[in-house]
Structure 1
């Protein structure tokens, strides 16, 4: 394993810079000496009780040994205090804590020689059941006779088989707590905005609770209402879901009680002061049904709530209009927005149109702010102690908040090929979510077999009563974040004071919701004692996010999303996906995911068919309302059929969502879904990360005879590509080579960049186990050049104010080491956000090449090829002269100038166990490779 290891624990999550006072070596040695002996029995008993080592009973399995998956770092996300201490001091790992990390990492160098027979060198066998010779333990959780948990020797994944529905779900809850109890506890507190009081007042913890609670400021009554509302009213399936949740909770709580009495609970409870290591005093609170909703609100915010940003859109539009005048400024803004770019790569590429959220011909109701009046609504008040000391800088953008926010930006991919184009005549799929890299991972693996349930795959910890992404008996499914716009911003006109607003003509009081959190130093966090209060003002149009004036009137800008107060509703769709009696083909699959209100792209494969569906509750906007900008909070501009009491509305029908069955192939890397589906994030233009997949899969399909290994190779090859180098650098080089280069430094840089493009434009190491890139100088040059060339190309024409406003909408760069980008360094996922398309379109215009959907103006050199070339050469020379130490300045993990380390992926610690960093590759965190051999 790599030697560099992060020193993190809920703090410094985005970049691992360590925690003040965390487990100082001297105190650790004392703790180990005092604790190893009394805890040795507990460590051995962590999987207890164990009994006969027999194979699990297997349900019908149509994979024929051709289903595989992987989820680093490992299945075991719990560690006793002794295990945590040993890991921190000596680097030892609990069993199954990182045994999937090595195979996952090795694919980056192993994929060129991959064959179907070698797939499980880099993945796990995802067949149902456990062969008798591979059984590591068999557990009857809680002493029940109606459920058995069998864990395999290789990965420790729980295979849960129940003879009753209750027993099956009880086993799922028990296994979840065995593998992720601490993480589940962390996230139920994050979802309530109460993390600091639970885990300490480190800036990252403050940032986490602020980040999520601002968007979902729920009371306990709100959480309970989600259970009592849509789920309880969903007929038999709703009743079954509630029964499943209660059984699942009973299993979690049974493990809490067993681990407490047996003293093998996670060691983080001792380190944060919740349990005493000697006397065992203290408690671990039981889980309750509202905890599940709190967990769901966090996951929904991270991965399934697209849209928003209307105020920032308005600010950049106003900047464009200020620069160019209203008419031309609007054209410039729209060309950068690329809301329906004709050159964008599509998932549904057969030409079918799915119009949604396009620009209205006659916009109505826009409520753009007066210049200079927008202010973010304060969230934090009444700081004391260490919180008061931190008041000088905002914690909403701290490492912790940005780390989990990066998971939202750390996107997912899918490659699915129809049987018409495969060697076997059966569909092949390689797909999975990119949920970020954490220790323990946010997801966990499991197999569930019981009445009405038959599935294996990944689920978010604490929400694993069903498999959320995985395979059934003869079908598999997965998702990528789609990001279509289900969020709108309303300008509510204030009356009386700052806390009353006009609702349908009546002056109405806002609701005040508060959280007061206090903390004291712990072993895990030496942050001094402190406290603060978070306060959110809520209206019927959602929480207040900004204040401003519009045409001189005082307003509060509120944010309303269709999934607000409805994060738990999606449980019905996941229940259906796990039901073998429900999903028997692609149409059933599409009907199931229609019940999921998160914004996801869903993919399906069985032995005969493939399918795709874009989920989410897309609100029907009033005629003329442009969802890109704030609108007045008045009846004519509200969502059609909107019920403010329950935040329900009329939604676009299923047929209007991008969907398809048996297209020749599907790819998704969070790109545009279909023609005229204009509800996309910024940056879906002529160059997008999805092109890396589309180019490779399209070629495979054209050649025919696609195999599982060929599709894995395409994914892995794209996962090492530098998007800028593959799709934009050739145009940059055409410009700079349009005349002789006389400067020797610049010429040498051009030669290196040209050679890199010829070699494949990848960020790949020289050999397996090496920590140096094959084209290190060229990579260094482009990493230094890109941000500078973008600014030099566009800032003179746009002006500093507009350029700054546009970069607030879309950052210029997201290379693997770009700590200044939206994802940050060490996050793996890269090249989702950047000005790749703008540079591409602008340069093609300068070169006189055809461009569909061009920018409204030409920027590089004012449109002159010679002047553009001079701009690029000047910035290239400056970039080429920057040393590796300047380009990669280093952090607590990496020395300055260590290019490989700067790119490397870190499993960001959410508990006490740390892991080594691995070489960069841009791929899903959890990933499946599937090809079914038969169908029911």
Structure 2
């Protein structure tokens, strides 16, 4: 039985309307009375589908907003646009998720599932909403529960199990999967229209992974070949999964209940049913994986920006002192940084060499970004469209790589029940439909429930097994290097091992039809990437007067499919039976993640990724020459393989008293590519709270959820930096009435807990709203006034290019631009903290090379702070929160609010800001196999 009922009258309206922006539908004014016949389905038999292999004792919970159902017919889209009605299970997880922000203080173990789903295996008979045999198969059953509509897939054969997983993926995310297989190939505009955001998105990923179809197939072949029986099983699983997706495509096409976006984008005709929805194929999986890996699992890069800021520091202070200043801001191994592994062990990686070799720093002013787009036609050729296209990636998915995600894990020694407790999950942004989908899979060799990225859900990627749970945060260690290849003959030949070698040109031609809804005219362009054996060309420059191309080489390039084996292992109950097995499985994941584990007896942690072994003397922070002496050890350019650091050299641990991660530093001497791993980091918000719980003992699921939620509403600046700033201000009486009033408001806010919380649930007004406005206005003003005079404008600007000054909730940040939730990862809070403590004469480990505020004078620093505070206090809410496409100017709550960015036709309402994972688990296992 198809999950979606046959479409009714509104579905058959003829339309070729396209979705403006990034697949956003236009508002539709329609008369729907009498047009929509009731959607009907045969009631499912009330069979008891509860699984017997669940060791969580009812203490596993999960959630992922807005809802499991990410598909909608044309009729449902039109109704949503006209009246805000929602398809079944499209947003039923959004309300509980949002409610935790005001409900966490009164939480109890008994009410956790008011804000989460019960993540027990199976479905009790009274909660069975539907049962189906996809495509009439007898070897797999999909049962959906009443509360959230999550598919519980049970197969008697491995093939049938994976077929069911693919069918369920089609039911829940077909349109989204189709979007992202086109994004991964750089073909989104041809598929979904030429809106600027679509252009920016496909360009971002094409820069990172300009693959040909042969490249995609080769990655499958290589992953299978090098992994023996598991590799062959993975390919069989993928083929069965694809067969399930394609069976759903055929069923929804013949039944005419496919996603309505296919009509809105002109791929299907709602009257004649003309047009096709292309079947999925194996290489689509690699294209999808390349997008996810690029977004969340590819740490590193930035060497050219680092070089620019180093050169600016040396120009300001001279080579020796400028290098000292640069290193103090870089904070490679800050002794005050929050650590995930805090047991005193160190894991040296990417350390600064004593005598750097092979550096290829650009001549000042010579760097230009490699152009990607050629042959523009139509309205896209205008200057405005070019600008929008160039910046769209920063406003949608393809912004600068962000860490996101958090984890809180406490060992059983410190819990009330004697069993480990974990509250963890990834922050993947907020979308409609969501990138992640929930599912349970039970079959031969597979037993898991949790979240998977749409189109890659042949296995659960983050979730639980029979008696263990696992999750991940982005780690950010450096697996990307920049090489300078010397040009020869012309701009498209380079020296490789002494021979003038032609670059490989890869092109993608995109053309799109007129877009009625947003006025975008027809247009086209060609994306062109130049590839070398050292990776794609990213920049052009001169080094010592020689023309070079800077290339970007990452260890996961041409290896997007390799991680499938690790996920296969994590889903296998016969493989993972304890923490050592979990760590072994995580070692097969080549993307850069921190992995966390909990069962009824143990906790564990492992940092994954193929960390290349660099040549002696190479500093991973800066570009190096593309020459044999500076290549990764035993690097093979044909396969992009090399020697990688052994598993024991990756930060890892078992049964530490507790673990926290919010994309902070993993361990001592483990240098990540991230700037800002210093004395103040959002990881401190978790560490401070969990450390107190552990010291008190008797930790419960409720207490750990509350710690997470409390940290998720905290303003990092206000909690960890503002008290130091107020010490300086209070070093003498404040006589100016405007400044004094602002100080009073800020002190009251700090005393109240420094949270950004509503006055009451649904009020859409912050408690301490004026103090929040003052700090939001003050922070960028005080940072510039504190540091720019000492650094000089050029160096100050250069460092802000590597580390933005602020990432408040209302700032544009994260994978969706503004309204993305995830906040306070990147900013100058550590610099301000160290500098202000130095001015106050307090102890500072790993301090900056100079004291900047007021030139080190307490009185002059105080004058700087008070002057900028008075300026900030005078700014209106409309000036601090200028408004955007979501909010009117001056609406503080709305500026912070989380928006489910539309990737299809269904829209959802905004929710109050929370700085927490998108998908999240709360687990405490009571027994073990």
Counterpart of 1:747? Answer: 740
Counterpart of 2:155? Answer: 162
Q: Give the TM-score normalised by the residue count of structure 1.
A: 0.96
Q: Deviation string for 1:414-441 (max 9, x for gaps)?
A: 0000000000010000000000000000
CA apart distance, 1:872: 0.4
Q: Deviation string for 1:704-744 (max 9, x for gaps)?
A: 00000000000000000000000000000000110011100
Rounded Cα–Cα distance in structure 2 between residues aligned with 1:823 and 1:216: 20
Q: Give yes or no for the alignment of 1:518 onto 2:511.
A: yes
Aligned partners of 2:589 and 2:609 also within 8 Å: yes
CA apart distance, 1:770: 1.3
Give the one of 542, 551, 565 matched to 2:544. Answer: 551
Rounded Cα–Cα distance in structure 2 between residues aligned with 1:821 and 1:788: 22
Give the one of 292, 296, 307 matched to 1:314. Answer: 307
Give the one of 23, 28, 36 matched to 1:25. Answer: 28
Aligned partners of 1:410 and 1:827 also within 8 Å: no
Evaluate the alpha carbon distance shift between residue 24 and residue 694 of structure 1 in structure 2; reply closer, same or farther with a 3 A threshold. closer
Q: Give yes or no for the alignment of 1:151 onto 2:133.
A: no
Rounded Cα–Cα distance in structure 2 between residues aligned with 1:278 and 1:429: 52
Aligned partners of 2:614 and 2:631 also within 8 Å: yes
Q: Give yes or no for the alignment of 1:785 onto 2:778.
A: yes
Counterpart of 1:929? Answer: 922
CA apart distance, 1:488: 0.1
**Which stretch shifts more, 186-195 or 877-886?**
877-886
Q: Give yes or no for the alignment of 1:230 onto 2:213.
A: no
Q: Give yes or no for the alignment of 1:801 onto 2:780.
A: no
Counterpart of 1:566? Answer: 559
Aligned partners of 1:310 and 1:630 also within 8 Å: yes
Rounded Cα–Cα distance in structure 2 between residues aligned with 1:392 and 1:495: 35
Counterpart of 2:897? Answer: 904
Counterpart of 1:455? Answer: 448
Evaluate the alpha carbon distance shift between residue 390 and residue 246 of structure 1 in structure 2; reply closer, same or farther with a 3 A threshold. farther
Evaluate the alpha carbon distance shift between residue 391 and residue 746 of structure 1 in structure 2; reply closer, same or farther with a 3 A threshold. closer
Give the one of 870, 892, 895 matched to 1:877. Answer: 870
Q: Give yes or no for the alignment of 1:77 onto 2:63.
A: no
Rounded Cα–Cα distance in structure 1 between residues aligned with 2:190 and 2:553: 29
Q: Give yes or no for the alignment of 1:187 onto 2:180.
A: yes
Evaluate the alpha carbon distance shift between residue 105 and residue 24 of structure 1 in structure 2; reply closer, same or farther with a 3 A threshold. closer
CA apart distance, 1:769: 1.7
**Which stretch shifts more, 407-416 or 350-359?**
407-416
Q: Give yes or no for the alignment of 1:537 onto 2:530.
A: yes
Evaluate the alpha carbon distance shift between residue 801 and residue 363 of structure 1 in structure 2; reply closer, same or farther with a 3 A threshold. same
Q: How many residues align?
A: 913
Counterpart of 2:424? Answer: 431
Rounded Cα–Cα distance in structure 1 between residues aligned with 2:869 and 2:257: 58
Q: Give yes or no for the alignment of 1:673 onto 2:676.
A: no
Aligned partners of 1:358 and 1:679 also within 8 Å: no
Counterpart of 1:477? Answer: 470
SS at match of 1:868: helix
**Which stretch shifts more, 444-453 or 393-402?**
393-402
Rounded Cα–Cα distance in structure 1 between residues aligned with 2:172 and 2:73: 12
Counterpart of 2:5? Answer: none
Rounded Cα–Cα distance in structure 2 between residues aligned with 1:696 and 1:677: 24
Evaluate the alpha carbon distance shift between residue 466 and residue 525 of structure 1 in structure 2; reply closer, same or farther with a 3 A threshold. farther
Rounded Cα–Cα distance in structure 2 between residues aligned with 1:390 and 1:934: 63
**Equivalent residues in 2 for 1:692-707, closer than 5 Å:** 692-707=685-700
Aligned partners of 1:410 and 1:435 also within 8 Å: no
Which consecutive residues of structure 1, in runs of 5 or more, have no partner in the other structure? 1-7
**Equivalent residues in 2 for 1:360-371, closer than 5 Å:** 360-371=353-364
Evaluate the alpha carbon distance shift between residue 681 and residue 571 of structure 1 in structure 2; reply closer, same or farther with a 3 A threshold. same
Rounded Cα–Cα distance in structure 2 between residues aligned with 1:823 and 1:72: 15
Rounded Cα–Cα distance in structure 2 between residues aligned with 1:435 and 1:334: 31
Q: Deviation string for 1:176-217 (max 9, x for gaps)?
A: 000000000000000000000000000000001001011000
Rounded Cα–Cα distance in structure 1 between residues aligned with 2:152 and 2:460: 12
CA apart distance, 1:895: 1.8
Aligned partners of 2:407 and 2:423 also within 8 Å: yes
Rounded Cα–Cα distance in structure 1 between residues aligned with 2:50 and 2:600: 23
CA apart distance, 1:521: 2.0
Counterpart of 1:285? Answer: 278
**Equivalent residues in 2 for 1:857-876, closer than 5 Å:** 857-876=850-869
Q: Deviation string for 1:348-371 (max 9, x for gaps)?
A: 000001000010011000000001
Counterpart of 1:3? Answer: none
Rounded Cα–Cα distance in structure 2 between residues aligned with 1:12 and 1:111: 36
Q: Give yes or no for the alignment of 1:714 onto 2:717.
A: no
Q: Give yes or no for the alignment of 1:576 onto 2:569.
A: yes
CA apart distance, 1:10: 6.6
Aligned partners of 1:271 and 1:523 also within 8 Å: no
CA RMSD of aligned residues (A): 1.6
Aligned partners of 2:403 and 2:475 also within 8 Å: no
Rounded Cα–Cα distance in structure 2 between residues aligned with 1:723 and 1:822: 20
Q: Give yes or no for the alignment of 1:588 onto 2:591.
A: no
Rounded Cα–Cα distance in structure 2 between residues aligned with 1:9 and 1:614: 43
Aligned partners of 1:410 and 1:828 also within 8 Å: no
CA apart distance, 1:399: 3.9
Evaluate the alpha carbon distance shift between residue 9 and residue 411 of structure 1 in structure 2; reply closer, same or farther with a 3 A threshold. farther
Rounded Cα–Cα distance in structure 2 between residues aligned with 1:838 and 1:821: 22
Evaluate the alpha carbon distance shift between residue 50 and residue 249 of structure 1 in structure 2; reply closer, same or farther with a 3 A threshold. farther
Aligned partners of 2:370 and 2:537 also within 8 Å: yes
Q: Give yes or no for the alignment of 1:385 onto 2:373.
A: no
Q: Give the TM-score normalised by the residue count of structure 2.
A: 0.97
CA apart distance, 1:390: 4.8
CA apart distance, 1:403: 1.9
CA apart distance, 1:401: 4.9
CA apart distance, 1:896: 1.4
CA apart distance, 1:400: 5.3
CA apart distance, 1:472: 0.2
Q: Give yes or no for the alignment of 1:264 onto 2:257.
A: yes
Q: Deviation string for 1:33-71 (max 9, x for gaps)?
A: 89x45xx47x546xxx87533232514100000000010
Counterpart of 1:86? Answer: 79
Aligned partners of 2:55 and 2:925 also within 8 Å: yes
Evaluate the alpha carbon distance shift between residue 642 and residue 164 of structure 1 in structure 2; reply closer, same or farther with a 3 A threshold. same
Evaluate the alpha carbon distance shift between residue 416 and residue 154 of structure 1 in structure 2; reply closer, same or farther with a 3 A threshold. same
Q: Deviation string for 1:6-26 (max 9, x for gaps)?
A: xx997555xxxx96xx53535
Rounded Cα–Cα distance in structure 2 between residues aligned with 1:384 and 1:391: 13
Rounded Cα–Cα distance in structure 1 between residues aligned with 2:317 and 2:686: 38
SS at match of 1:311: helix
Rounded Cα–Cα distance in structure 1 between residues aligned with 2:385 and 2:197: 15
Evaluate the alpha carbon distance shift between residue 11 and residue 306 of structure 1 in structure 2; reply closer, same or farther with a 3 A threshold. farther
Q: Deviation string for 1:651-708 (max 9, x for gaps)?
A: 0000000000000000000000001001240010000000000000000000000000
SS at match of 2:749: helix
Rounded Cα–Cα distance in structure 2 between residues aligned with 1:108 and 1:908: 20
Evaluate the alpha carbon distance shift between residue 51 and residue 749 of structure 1 in structure 2; reply closer, same or farther with a 3 A threshold. closer
